[in-house]
Amino acid sequence: MEFHPLEKKENLFEGYKSVFQVGEISLLLIQHNAKTALIENRCGHFGYELESGKIETDTIVCSQHGISFSLITGEIANRPYENADPIRIFDIVCQDGFLGVVL
């Protein structure tokens, strides 16, 4: 397991969204409502990137089909389609002023 720094903590602001590639995984770092979330940048329906999705309360809405996913648990918040899976949520680690992930 290795720490992968993504962004300086001081660079985050309300509405921040940025994509980072760590190995084979595309990650989306989000700052919303004074909370920071790190999710896999892949919709659980057809795998579309979530970076263009709209943030609503504590969910992200896929711009392709409107499925909402919890930024806290990754679970589906609305299910307009039966064949969708939850998204992966990653623990954020702070090390030397950087927010990152251990993989």
Q: And the tokens for 87?
A: 């998204």
Cα(68)–Cα(79) distance, rounded to whole angstroms?
8
Q: Tell me the pTM.
A: 0.93
Which region holds residue 74: left if phi is over 0, alpha if psi is between -120 and 50, else beta?
left
- Domain definitions of the chain by residue range: 3-102
| Superfamily for domain range 3-102 | Rieske [2Fe-2S] iron-sulphur domain (2.102.10.10)
* Digitized pLDDT (tens) for each residue of the chain, 103 residues in all: 999 999 999 999 999 999 999 999 999 999 999 999 999 999 988 889 999 999 998 999 999 988 999 999 999 988 666 778 999 999 999 999 999 999 9
